[in-house]
Chains A and B, each alone.
Chain A
Amino acid sequence: MSEIDRLIEEHIPRLRRYARALAGDRVRADDLVQDTLERAWGKFHLWRRGSDLRAWLFSIMHNVHVNGVRKNSAAPALLPLEDDALQMPARATQEDGLQLRDVHAALACLPQEQREVLLLVGLEEMRYEEVAKILEVPVGTVMSRLSRGRERLRQIMAGAAVPALRVVK
């Protein structure tokens, strides 16, 4: 295996973790990772040595994902029926289990853009500036997506109805 392959391979577990959270099920998540890796292997000459490889890979994944989402909104989603894919990675105790399942479900209710930011910050522990660079949006946009996403998640978790309608006073 070449040095390049090894460098990229080190990031695969994190790419998979993020993809799993983003896409929801294992098959779609690994499809996303595979598409990302193929593009990365093919375009490795575009990576500036010494720059942050993780950020580069995540920005590729972001683009692949956005394109995929766009494509799927035009065509019906192609989902294999796999029982396992519906299950979440389980490590938590039964009691947290319920709560974690709720988080998982609530996450799926968030708009795509908010979910991405929430995951890059909360799961990947990236700094806001880094997230902005990966998503190619201003930091202010990152912050407002983060703020709205978190609040929405909190309300869903608190059992409040999803506030789709603004109350007019």
Chain B
Amino acid sequence: MHEMSLAESILQIVEDAAAKQGFKRVSEVRLEIGALAGVEPEALAFCLDVVFRGSVAAGARVELERLPGQGFCLDCGETVPVMARYDACPKCGGYQVQATGGTEMRVKDLLVE
């Protein structure tokens, strides 16, 4: 969803950092995207390629680290692995699972010159 907006936000974060720290070129952008963040990695990579053109990050490699999904099942009272946001609890089959990990969308670090 809305990967183009996210790509533009990522470029903005990169350009803000470039203005503050005075680097001229970014060769790699490392992102952390949780499995439950609702982001399609391929669509995001496609949008970033377009958005980065003509910027300090033109041609930069994009490393996308997927963080695993995790939830707390209210019925079981424990943390369980979650593949997709609204899946049933793998232990009890109930739907009272609140996402506790894997919703992150962060720019982690950059390799710059």
- Are A and B bound to each other? no
Question: Which residues of B come within 8 Å of A, CB atoms?
Answer: none
Question: Which residues of A come within 8 Å of B, CB atoms?
Answer: none
